[in-house]
Amino acid sequence: MNRRAFMGTLASGIIAAPRASEAQQAAKIARIGYLSPNLAADPIVQEAFGQGLRDLGYVEGRNLVIEHRDAEGKLERLPALAAELVALKVDVIVVPTSTLAVLAAKQATRTLPIVFIGTADPVASGLVMSLARPGGNVTGLSNLAPELVAKWLELLKQAVPGVGRVAALWQPGILGERTEKDMLTRAEVAAQALGVRLQIVEARGLENFDRAFSDMTRARADALTVLPSSMFNNERRRLVDLAAKNRLPAVYQWRHFADAGGLMSYGPNRPEWYRRAATYVDKILKGAKPGDLPVEQPTKFELVINLKTAKALGLTIPQSVLGRADQVIE
């Protein structure tokens, strides 16, 4: 090769190198599908997920694209929305809070990675084979909801003097048959151990709320626990208002119920949960297989007590309960 030919080859290589580098950078743009039962229901945790991604170096518009699909509370739309995300060939699908949404995503694809956030019992729901070795294309963070039922009843017994009958509001058909059966069984066992009578009250839709609370008051319920449901989560202000109207001290799983005026909440720290979910997404984007990533269970829980609500109900929360609270709303 003569000198002129060599210099021409070198120059073309120098010119090509930046282009190759630019193409490589373009290829690094991550595409995340976010399948939500109701995006407007809880913007705080969505921000926590976004912050978790930013902490790991992902910035929307630079190296990250998030494709949002929102069922707007209409769960029957979830299968079609999941199919849309699969058709877009996103790198990973993230599904918050809803077992039905995760099932819809899993039915839409057996290959694209799926990360769930807050599924009550992923093994019983058939989402994973085991917590330690999920297998397949699904993993994420569970919320221990069935195990927490006993704690909610215990808190009501401790915080509300003389409580003898507790209503448990639930929405059938949203957590999977085995999970729901386990949750209700644990509630019955805990109620017996605490010496309280349990009244199971169904609400399948928004139109059932007023009737459900009428049933509680007719049965002379002294207090209320609201079991996990994306519908209840979306309608938390209405539920809190109905509990206040019917003078029912209530305990909920998520702190935004207490922030909205509910008496108490006890459950995992949700923003921390969503930040942790970002680490699962990061590992998958870097090549990890969902089936090899163990399902993470919450380790940080928070008790929030709303003293303004207690005062409105004429309750004096014992100091033994107040002393355990992570936050007291005054």
For the stretch 222-247, pLDDT in tens is 999 999 888 898 899 999 999 999 99
* pLDDT band at residue 25 under the 50/70/90 scheme: very low
HSE-up of residue 23 (Cα within 13 Å, Cβ side): 5
Q: Higher pLDDT residue, 220 or 161?
A: 220
Rounded CA-CA distance 107/117 in Å is: 17
Least confident of 66-75, 198-207, 303-312: 66-75
CA nearest neighbour of 71 among 63, 62, 81, 61: 81
* pLDDT band at residue 9 under the 50/70/90 scheme: very low
* pLDDT band at residue 270 under the 50/70/90 scheme: confident
Q: What is the reported pLDDT for 4?
A: 46
Q: Is residue 71 predicted with pLDDT exceeding 60?
A: yes
Q: What is the reported pLDDT for 177?
A: 81
Span 54-67, average pLDDT: 95
For the stretch 97-122, pLDDT in tens is 788 899 999 999 999 999 999 888 88
Least confident of 39-43, 174-178, 231-235: 39-43
Secondary structure (3-state) at 291: helix
For 29-143+269-300, the fitting CATH number among 3.40.50.2300, 3.20.20.150, 3.40.630.30, 3.40.50.720 is: 3.40.50.2300
- Structure token digits, residue 12: 């073309």
Q: What is the reported pLDDT for 327?
A: 95
Span 17-38, average pLDDT: 68
pTM of the model: 0.83
CATH class of 145-268+302-329: alpha beta
Rounded CA-CA distance 33/31 in Å is: 7
Q: Is residue 157 predicted with pLDDT exceeding 50?
A: yes
Mean pLDDT of the chain, nearest integer: 89
Q: In CATH terms, are 29-143+269-300 and 145-268+302-329 the same topology?
A: yes
Q: What is the reported pLDDT for 161?
A: 83
Q: Where are the domains of the chain?
A: 29-143+269-300, 145-268+302-329
Other C-beta atoms lying within 10 Å of the C-beta of residue 328:
16
Q: What is the reported pLDDT for 13?
A: 46
- Structure token digits, residue 151: 């704690």
Looking at the DSSP assignment, which residues form a beta bridge with residue 68?
A: 34
